[in-house]
Amino acid sequence: MSNATAPATEAPDPSGAPLHVAINMDGNGRWAAARGLPRAEGHRRGVEALRRVVRAAHELGILYLTIFSFSSENWSRPASEIGDLFGLLRRFIRNDLATLHSDGVRVRVIGERDGLEPDICALLNEAEELTKGNTRLNLVVAFNYGSRQEIAHAARRLAREVAEGKRDPQSIDADTISRYLDAPDIPDPDLIIRTSGEQRLSNFLMWQAAYSELVFVPIHWPDFDKTALEEAIAEYARRERRFGGLAAKTGS
């Protein structure tokens, strides 16, 4: 793998595309079961879908793409499946990191790293460090992530500051909490997509999703591609985003 630094490249004009798209990549196991294949094959094909979508995101003018790759609740799955998922992460970083870097993709990781195996932490750190100067697309990987845990962590940090006399409790508002989340510099998602037909957030970016448009698609993640992403964005474009206010007036 080459360590040559790719020149930073400005992203194209979004031209109305959502700035930030987040995806709950659901349905790998059901995709495999429907074909009589092991769940591990569903996860492997899910990685292929991720490669397609990362390419498509830049082509469509998306600047931030957040993916829910491993939730804090996934530890309840069988040890063999967790091993398969971690193995895929290892291979994805080792095989794809150089390509992501040369394509100008910056990798960010949100979620808890305490308790992860040292080689996994090292790979996550390597991905972030190598690509930190890239600007074409921000790929935010939610790994060992849970939104309730993220909010609780922010609350503990603020409570500690109050207890130490460094902060007045009256100074804590929604903006303050946002600044104490895992990636406060990343804008909230405009659009959250969940594949496989499930219609819930499942502990994914719950704070950040306050005004996100939610699009649920029936296809399983391994079948998701650029066309499916375009269709979700088209649905997003048909929505009227008022952020709690009145609809904008048109005409005179």
Residue 65, C-beta contacts closer than 8 angstroms, at least 6 positions apart: 20, 21, 22, 23, 53, 54, 57, 137, 138, 139, 140
Catalytically active residues are 26, 74
Long-range contacts of 119-126 (CB under 8 A, 24+ apart): 119/90, 120/86, 120/89, 120/90, 123/89, 123/90, 123/93, 123/94, 124/93, 126/93, 126/97
If one compares 12 and 171, the residue with the highest pLDDT of the two is 171
Q: Are 157 and 182 in contact (CB under 8 A)?
A: no
Residue 172, C-beta contacts closer than 8 angstroms, at least 6 positions apart: 158, 162
Q: What is the pLDDT of residue 249?
A: 42
Q: Are 51 and 226 in contact (CB under 8 A)?
A: no
Q: What is the pLDDT of residue 63?
A: 97
Q: What is the pLDDT of residue 244?
A: 66
- Encoding tokens for residue 64? 């931030």
Q: Which residues are paired to 193 by β-bridges?
A: 23, 215
Q: What domains does the chain contain, in order, with CATH numbers?
A: 20-238 (3.40.1180.10)
Residue 109: which of 138, 141, 69 has the closest Cα? 141
Place of tokens 């799955």: 77
pLDDT tens across 206-250, in order?
Answer: 999 999 999 999 999 999 999 999 999 999 999 877 666 666 444
pLDDT tens across 172-206, in order?
Answer: 999 999 999 999 999 999 999 999 999 999 999 99
Distance, in Å, from the CA atom of 214 to the CA atom of 200, rounded to the nearest integer, reads: 9
Least confident window among 18-22, 59-63, 236-240 = 236-240
Q: What is the pLDDT of residue 72?
A: 75
